[in-house]
Amino acid sequence: MEQFTYYLPCIYAFLACIGFSLLFNIHGAAGMLICAGGGALGWLVYLLAAPLVHSDITQSFLAALVISAWSEIMARLRRCPVTSYLLVALFPLVPGGGIYYTMEHAMSGETALFLESLLHTLGLAGALAVGVLLVASLARLVTNYQNGHHRLPGGKRP
Amino acid sequence: MKPDYSQLLELVSEMGFRLMLSGAEIYRVEESISRLLQAYGAERGEVFAIPNCIIVSLTSPQGEPMTQIRRMPSHGTDIYLLERYNDLCRHLCRETPPFQEALAQISDIERTHKVYSLPVQLLAHFLGCGMFSLFYGGSVWDGLCGGLCGMVIGLCLALTSRLGANLFFKTIAGAAVSAFAALALTAAGIGQNPDSIIIGALMALVPGIAFTNAMRDIMAGDMVAGISKAAEALLIGAAIALGTALALGLIHLLIGG
């Protein structure tokens, strides 16, 4: 039973990402599998990190790091825009539940709970953002370094 | 070859327009345009883009300035088109074919563009939203209901898009309709867990795309673009909450619970 708690959510995330990759008009099995694989991988990291860090914001951050790195690598390999893979693979981490529970607390007039879940939702979104940002900046540094020798001073990268 | 600057201006702004229309980040649009300008040998070209507008300006060797402004209509994200235009842009930078040929290649991509039909899109909504209902701790029946609610959202989005509604309204309508459907399915005894059904279905509306793109823009130094997209993401999040609250509140009033 223990293993199912790891496998099942990842499989759900995988299939859900396949559904959403259709919605963003991704054609071709390879693209879909990369997106869905990224989503499942991210959630696996999220779950595996749980006993280590005990905070879902940090878990989200780590998962976002892994997903961005995966998307950057895949985009380099297939010479495609990174966005294509990143958009769909991040879906399982988007705090949809947070938005819903925040709304629910607001409706039932529980101000303390409302504020708490609002800040928590924003925290999760912030963790995602920082994770994506960090990897994207590093990837940019690497590209700039690789292209460094044929680059004009002050110009855009070629 | 001396480039004809007015045609060059037409070509690069068309390329930028198409890229942005298919959902490219701002820095990708700006970078593509400036690379194209360099490839075609225009030394003094500048480009500035924000989410609703692209401005390209050139100065010809005789010292005449030329500018083109393209206003962006509201648009979604189409990865297939984005990849094709990105490839074409690289190809143009490498080969620099004559302008007419380049423009023909751009419109070729639009002609051979393929989208999934509405039934396939609804199926995708079903799969995506149903799986997210399971993901958020629902039972198998909840997954089924979540999928159905997702299809309802898909239909609602297709309908309101055809009517030309704005993003905020579309989101409120989609969220409200799916919450209604979820409560109806639960009342009918099929769904057990309205929370996970609604959350799963709402995943079709969450502003993940806007948010990620906003972050990437801020990282690339385009503060104006990043901040306006981040504001859009927050607004959509608020719209989701509002729509769902509307439906739940109405049901509450009607049943009087």
Q: DSSP labels for chain B?
A: ----HHHHHHHHHHHHHHHHHTT--HHHHHHHHHHHHHHTT-SSEEEEEETTEEEEEEE-TTS-EEEEEEEPPP----HHHHHHHHHHHHHHHHH---HHHHHHHHHHHHHT-----HHHHHHHHHHHHHHHHHHTT--HHHHHHHHHHHHHHHHHHHHHHHTT--HHHHHHHHHHHHHHHHHHHHHTTS-S-HHHHHHHHHTTT--HHHHHHHHHHHHTT-HHHHHHHHHHHHHHHHHHHHHHHHHHHHHHHHHT-
Where a domain ends, among B94, B111, B128?
A: B111
**Which of A19, A107, A133 lies nearest to residue B128, judging by beta carbons?**
A19
Check residue A3 and give its pLDDT. Answer: 57
pLDDT digits (tens, 9 = 90+) for A112-143: 999 999 999 889 988 888 898 889 888 888 88
Check residue A59 and give its pLDDT. Answer: 92
How far apart are the C-alpha atoms of A23 and B116, rounded to whole Å?
8
Check residue A109 and give its pLDDT. Answer: 86
- Cα dist from B201 to A66, A153, B125, B176, B193, whole Å: 26, 50, 8, 11, 13
Q: In this structure, are B146 and B237 located in the same domain?
A: yes
User: Which residue type does B250 have?
Assistant: L
Q: In this structure, are B172 and B223 located in the same domain?
A: yes
Q: In this structure, are B60 and B142 located in the same domain?
A: no
pLDDT digits (tens, 9 = 90+) for B117-165: 888 989 999 999 999 898 888 888 888 899 999 999 999 988 998 888 8
Q: In this structure, are B89 and B184 located in the same domain?
A: no
Domain containing B86 equals 5-111
CA distance A116 to chain B (A): 16
How far apart are the C-alpha atoms of A102 and A104, rounded to whole Å?
5
**Which of B82, B124, B244 lies nearest to residue A19, judging by beta carbons?**
B124
More confident residue, A13 or B212: A13
Q: In this structure, are B65 and B186 located in the same domain?
A: no
How far apart are the C-alpha atoms of B65 and B42, rounded to whole Å?
12
Chain B neighbors of A92, CB-CB under 8 A: 132, 135
- Cα–Cα–Cα angle for B179, B118, B77, rounded to 5 degrees: 80
Check residue B149 and give its pLDDT. Answer: 92
Q: In this structure, are B66 and B143 located in the same domain?
A: no
The yes-or-no verdict on residue A17 having pLDDT over 50 is yes
User: In this structure, what token pair is assigned to residue B245?
Assistant: 């609250």
Which stretches of chain A are DSSP H helices? 4-23, 29-53, 56-78, 82-89, 96-107, 111-146
What does the pLDDT average to over A83-112?
Answer: 87
Check residue A155 and give its pLDDT. Answer: 46
Check residue A153 and give its pLDDT. Answer: 46
Check residue A120 and give its pLDDT. Answer: 92
**Which of B219, B245, B248 lies nearest to residue A136, judging by beta carbons?**
B219
Check residue B54 and give its pLDDT. Answer: 94
Q: In this structure, are B84 and B196 located in the same domain?
A: no
CB B153 within 8 A of CB B204: yes
Q: In this structure, are B94 and B161 located in the same domain?
A: no
Q: In this structure, are B191 and B215 located in the same domain?
A: yes
Where a domain ends, among B62, B94, B111?
A: B111
Check residue B57 and give its pLDDT. Answer: 92
Check residue B171 and give its pLDDT. Answer: 92
Residues of chain B with pLDDT under 70: 1-3, 256-257
How far apart are the C-alpha atoms of A45 and B202, rounded to whole Å?
24
Work out how many domains chain B is built from and give that number: 2
Where a domain ends, among B111, B139, B168?
A: B111
Check residue B78 and give its pLDDT. Answer: 87
The yes-or-no verdict on residue A5 having pLDDT over 90 is no
Check residue A113 and give its pLDDT. Answer: 92
- Which residues, in sequence order, are CB contacts of A124 under 8 Å at separation 6+? A56, A57, A60, A93, A95, A98
CA distance B104 to chain A (A): 22
Q: In this structure, are B22 and B99 located in the same domain?
A: yes
Q: Respond yes or no on whether ipTM tops 0.85.
A: no
Q: In this structure, are B166 and B227 located in the same domain?
A: yes
Q: In this structure, are B124 and B208 located in the same domain?
A: yes
- CB within 8 Å: B135 and A128: no
CA distance A28 to chain B (A): 9
How far apart are the C-alpha atoms of B206 and B232, rounded to whole Å?
11
Check residue A64 and give its pLDDT. Answer: 92
Beta bridge partners of B46: B57
